Amino acid sequence: MRGDVIQYDEDLGLGFIQGGDGRRYAFEKSDLRRLAPLAKGTTVEFHALGDRAREIFVVRTAQRTAAAPPSQFGRFAVAERAPSTGLWSYFIRGLTANYATFRGRARRKEYWGFYLFWLLATALLAFAGAVVDTLLGNMDADPPRMIATMALPGLFVLATIVPGVAITVRRIHDIGLSGWFYLLIFVPSVGGLIIFVFSLIPSQKYENKWGPVPEGVPIPETAAVSPPTT
């Protein structure tokens, strides 16, 4: 007789088949002619003995339905290609895709990766400007006219104010605080130090109100995926 598997627990070795006669037949793993995965909907041939199926073998495996497009939100969403977690990649995304992204979270590596290459880019532009000023003879003036030396890094700094604020706000979100704490930077003497301390605090190991745990942050198996409750 032919029928379809309607349930099978591989661990217990127990299952049920809906026969072509409309009856339900129970079976055990020992009733299989050959061990094979038996998903729901698998078509099998078997010998019926009362309400028991014997001598079962697979005729056609179950058809897999097309998977729905995965969500792009959340730490456990599956994307076509996971974004790189390299320092350079963080810097490039900070200047492009995340240029004015104030929502979400940024791990320490993302924050410091961005500012590492930001500092290097600023220094290289200043050096390039000094070379240009030298070639133009600006350095021979009295006093030296460091036009390009100041202009090139200056324009870069102005162009990166927005992404710099954005990534700092996301870094503050990552430790569970409101991005409005960024305004502490305007407090004389201690404001900048407070923001620096914020940047050193590890990521929260669970999803908080500003988003899921950033990609690449290791989560211990015993860590909660949501804020601990009291």
Distance separating alpha carbons of residues 85 and 88, to the nearest angstrom:
9
Domains held by the chain: number: 2
The predicted pLDDT at position 67 comes to: 46
Residues 94, 51 share a domain: no
Residues 134, 41 share a domain: no
Which tens digits make up the pLDDT trace of 134-156? 999 888 888 888 999 999 999 99
Q: Which domain holds residue 39?
A: 2-60
Q: Is residue 77 part of a domain?
A: no
Beta bridge mates, 3: 19, 44
Q: Is residue 185 part of a domain?
A: yes
Q: Domain with 41 in it: what CATH number?
A: 2.40.50.140
Distance separating alpha carbons of residues 192 and 187, to the nearest angstrom:
8
Residues 128, 37 share a domain: no
Distance separating alpha carbons of residues 77 and 72, to the nearest angstrom:
6
Q: Is residue 108 part of a domain?
A: yes
Distance separating alpha carbons of residues 190 and 171, to the nearest angstrom:
18
Residues 24, 111 share a domain: no
Residues 105, 50 share a domain: no
Residues 178, 134 share a domain: yes
Q: Is residue 146 part of a domain?
A: yes
pLDDT band (50, 70, 90) for residue 73: very low
- Predicted TM-score (pTM) of this structure: 0.62
pLDDT band (50, 70, 90) for residue 228: low
Distance separating alpha carbons of residues 168 and 174, to the nearest angstrom:
10
Structure tokens at 17: 């088949």
